[in-house]
Amino acid sequence: MSFAALCVAPLAASGSASAAAKQQAAEVGFSVTASAEVPNTRLRLLLQAIAQESGGERVLPALAARLNQRMNSALKLIESTPGVKAQTRGLRSSPVYENGKQTGWRLVGQIEAVGDAKTFPQLAGKLQASGLSVESVQAEPAENALSAAREQQTKAAISNLKRRAQVVSQALGCSAWSFAEVNLNDQDSHPPVGVLRMATAKAEPAALAPGATTVTVRASAKMRCEP
């Protein structure tokens, strides 16, 4: 738990300066945090297939057929893996230049695979061996686990806020206190997952460690301190 610096500001008061010093209330601003780690049980991989050939536009039909074959094989492999779903993310073509002169064409296709993290090391290795490269990897917890963690840390942050208010009240000698304002903000921190991006010759399991997501809830408040 971490605390921000206290900010104390007097409220407007009437009467003489000496009476105001005794009677006026004060507003105290502070914040606390509560956080916990949630295991990542799902992975989201962006895979890429490339087909390239020298020549003019006449090579495009054969290139497209080669790329489609590679993409379809990858989709079948992904969709045959329990707990994993696939979706095509993009197809594009671009000319290849050397020394300012067009020498060929390149076709690129992308597939996103999402599912159980336990199945991905073996699956990613097979996909890399089939000629696809892994462009990015994102790890995330199951949605119900993430929601539960947010709820728990929200309760913890509010409890921390109340305890902090009691400490401040006693330190300032408040006869009574109340919250004038309370704000809550949550944030999830997903660490990056590294993986060998290039295609490989053998279907070795990919080195994938999902890790955990840190769920943090920050509670800030303004407390009214009665003299």
Q: What is the pLDDT of residues 98-147, one digit of tens each?
A: 999 999 999 999 999 999 999 888 898 899 888 899 898 889 999 999 99
DSSP H or E stretch at residue 121: helix 120-129
Could you tell me if 84 and 166 lie in one domain?
no
- Residue 185: pLDDT band (50, 70, 90) is very high
Could you tell me if 59 and 97 lie in one domain?
yes
- What's the pLDDT at 188? 85
- Residue 200: pLDDT band (50, 70, 90) is very low
Cβ distance 146 to 215 under 8 Å? yes
CA 97 remoteness from chain centre: 37
State which residues form the domain around 91: 42-140
Residue 209 counted as domain residue: no
Residue 166 counted as domain residue: yes
- What's the pLDDT at 210? 85
Q: Is the pLDDT of residue 167 over 80?
A: yes
User: What does the DSSP assignment read for 132-184?
Assistant: -EEEEEEEE--HHHHHHHHHHHHHHHHHHHHHHHHHHHHHHT-SEEEEEEEEE
Could you tell me if 27 and 116 lie in one domain?
no
Global confidence as pTM? 0.69
CATH number, domain of 133, equals 3.30.70.360
Residue 203 counted as domain residue: no
Could you tell me if 119 and 172 lie in one domain?
no
9: which residues sit within 8 A by CB, 6+ positions away?
A: 26, 27, 29
